[in-house]
């Protein structure tokens, strides 16, 4: 009798193990089937109007216009770093060595001074063996004046990131963030955004992080 009970218990345990194992194997198989995408991240750039009298600047890729503002020193590197950290959450993306990308991009740019940017990006990606080239531009990066609980002047950030497919030069994704934080008294529609930031006045770095999170929600296949 005892042996019979033990056999039944063993069978049930084995069945449970199989039921738990099958979904895990399915997930693993799906992940293994995800094709690795080689991504070349072009060094992010800050853009200001050509004329000191201008109040807007256009993206060299999308052509979209953005109101300009001060850009803090090193802002492009900050936005790029936050972007790279977000990409690390995507397992099937292989980020090509940043230093190597920078070297190839600058060399090709110098050799192709009269070539359109789209052609330079395609050449850079092709030489690096990339599937996608990511190009980012910062149009505004104004630091908050004040504190988390009280700001004399709020942070303001605007950036655009484009994914260009190397084989045909087609833009396959564009992420945009353009925001100046406002108080709830100024704009009740920002209540969700304000409390997402902890109900405080964000500095430019924190606003950029929030913006990158929002931007990546439109990124195909990305879920946080």
Per-residue pLDDT tens over the stretch 107-139? 999 998 889 999 999 999 999 999 999 999 999
Q: Quote the pLDDT of residue 193.
A: 55
Q: Quote the pLDDT of residue 29.
A: 43
Q: Per the structure block, which two tokens stand in for 31?
A: 């992940």
Q: Quote the pLDDT of residue 119.
A: 95
Strand ranges inside the chain, DSSP E: 37-41, 45-46, 56-58, 65-67, 93-95, 132-142, 145-146, 151-153, 156-165, 171-180
Q: Quote the pLDDT of residue 10.
A: 58
Q: Quote the pLDDT of residue 199.
A: 65
Residue ranges of the chain whose pLDDT lies below 50 = 2, 5, 22, 25-33, 184, 187-188, 221-224
Q: Quote the pLDDT of residue 49.
A: 81
CATH no., domain 36-216:
3.40.50.10610
What is the rounded distance in angstroms from the CA atom of residue 148 to the CA atom of residue 136?
28
**pTM score:** 0.76
Q: Quote the pLDDT of residue 208.
A: 96
Q: Quote the pLDDT of residue 96.
A: 97
Q: Quote the pLDDT of residue 23.
A: 53
What is the rounded distance in angstroms from the CA atom of residue 124 to the CA atom of residue 129?
9
């Amino acid at each position: 009798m005892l042996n019979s009970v033990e056999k039944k218990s063993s069978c049930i345990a084995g069945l449970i193990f199989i039921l738990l194992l099958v979904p895990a194997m399915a997930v693993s198989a799906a992940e293994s089937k995800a094709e690795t995408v080689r991504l070349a991240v072009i060094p992010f750039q800050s853009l200001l109007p050509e004329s000191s009298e201008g109040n807007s600047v256009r993206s060299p890729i999308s052509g979209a216009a953005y109101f300009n503002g001060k850009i803090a020193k090193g802002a492009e590197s900050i936005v790029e770093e936050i972007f790279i950290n977000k990409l690390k959450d995507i397992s099937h993306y292989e980020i090509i060595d940043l230093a190597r990308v920078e070297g190839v991009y600058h060399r090709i740019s110098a050799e192709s001074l009269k070539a359109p940017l789209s052609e330079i990006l395609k050449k850079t990606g092709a030489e690096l063996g990339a599937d996608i080239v990511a190009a980012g531009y910062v149009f505004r990066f104004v630091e908050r004046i004040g504190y988390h609980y009280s700001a004399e002047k709020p942070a303001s950030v605007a950036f655009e990131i484009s994914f260009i497919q190397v084989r045909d030069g087609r833009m396959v994704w564009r992420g945009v963030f353009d925001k100046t934080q406002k108080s709830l008294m100024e704009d009740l529609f920002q209540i969700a955004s304000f409390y997402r930031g902890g109900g405080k006045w964000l500095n430019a770095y924190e606003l950029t992080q929030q913006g990158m999170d929002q931007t990546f929600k439109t990124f195909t296949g990305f879920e946080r």
